[in-house]
Homo-oligomer: A and B are copies of this chain.
Amino acid sequence: MTPVKPKRVPRAIREQQMLDASVEVFARRGYHPAGVEEIAEIAGISKPMVYLYFGSKEELFVACIRREANRLMEMITQLVDPQDPPKEQLWSALRGFFSFVSDHSGAWIVLYRQARTQGGPSAREVDEMRRRTVELIAAMLSQAAGMRKPGEQAVTAAHALVGSCESLADWMLDTPGTSAETTAKRLMHFAWPGLEELMEATRAKRAKR
């Protein structure tokens, strides 16, 4: 009865609505099967608007990636205090990460399962974020061990840690009844001993010199 008259919505808002719809559809269907038509429908607009605002399906996808990647990074950045000891930092980061994934499962699926699979710009975008994350972790480990630049082992460990996060995030989403907090704690149990040992070994080696 109140057919929601198509109001003239300002650009900035429409953009967000379109991104919301896109993330939802890309997450549900995957990049290729997702149709621009469906996205437009869910956003409550017509197809041409999508092209007017984003230019192409791929650019739309990249815009999704970018928004969600930024949100994720912000969430973590806000929780981590660089002054804290490494263990605290890691703990905060993990909690932030898993709680983001919990709260924005669609975003996570798009970022992790979809974006990296497609070649081209979208994969590059996510790879870039991943690279920065790995670097950050490696740097933190090295600094805590009193080194300037991360060694090979630190970088490898960082990569492994990120992989653990991704795997558990995925698992968490598929396994109801698993809270972000718990998942973070368990991952700490798994990962911290190895990281600690690594830092000690590094310190020891350094001391000898």
A75 close to B (CB within 8 Å): no
A163 close to B (CB within 8 Å): yes
Given contacts A156-B187, A186-B157, A194-B193, whether A166 and B168 have CB atoms under 8 Å apart is: no
A190 to B137 alpha-carbon distance, docked (Å): 14
A189 close to B (CB within 8 Å): yes
Interface-centre pick from A32, A156, A171 (highest chain B CB count, 10 A): A156
Q: How many copies of the polypeptide does the oligomer hold? A: 4
Chain A, 142-168, contact with B by CB distance < 8 Å: what is the 0/1 string? 000000000011001101111111111
DSSP class of A's interface residues: helix, strand, loop or mixed?
A: helix
- Interface 9-mer from A15-23, A66-74, A78-86, A111-119: A111-119
Interface-centre pick from A31, A193, A194 (highest chain B CB count, 10 A): A194
Nearest neighbor of A191 in chain B, beta-carbon distance? B194
A119 to B109 alpha-carbon distance, docked (Å): 12
A87 to B157 alpha-carbon distance, docked (Å): 18
CB distance from A17 to the nearest CB of B (A): 24
Residues of B within 8 A of A197 (CB): 189, 193
Nearest neighbor of A130 in chain B, beta-carbon distance? B167
Chain A, 177-209, contact with B by CB distance < 8 Å: what is the 0/1 string? 000000100110111111111100000000000
Kindly list 9 other residue pairs between chains A and B, CB separation below 8 angstroms, not including A156-B168, A157-B189, A163-B165. Answer: A31-B32, A117-B117, A157-B186, A159-B167, A160-B167, A160-B191, A163-B168, A193-B193, A194-B194
- What are some 21 contacts across the A-B interface (CB < 8 A)? A32-B33, A114-B117, A117-B117, A152-B186, A156-B183, A157-B190, A159-B164, A159-B168, A160-B164, A160-B168, A160-B186, A160-B187, A161-B190, A163-B164, A164-B164, A166-B166, A166-B167, A189-B194, A190-B194, A190-B198, A193-B193
A30 close to B (CB within 8 Å): yes
CB distance from A122 to the nearest CB of B (A): 12
A187 to B152 alpha-carbon distance, docked (Å): 12
CB distance from A199 to the nearest CB of B (A): 12
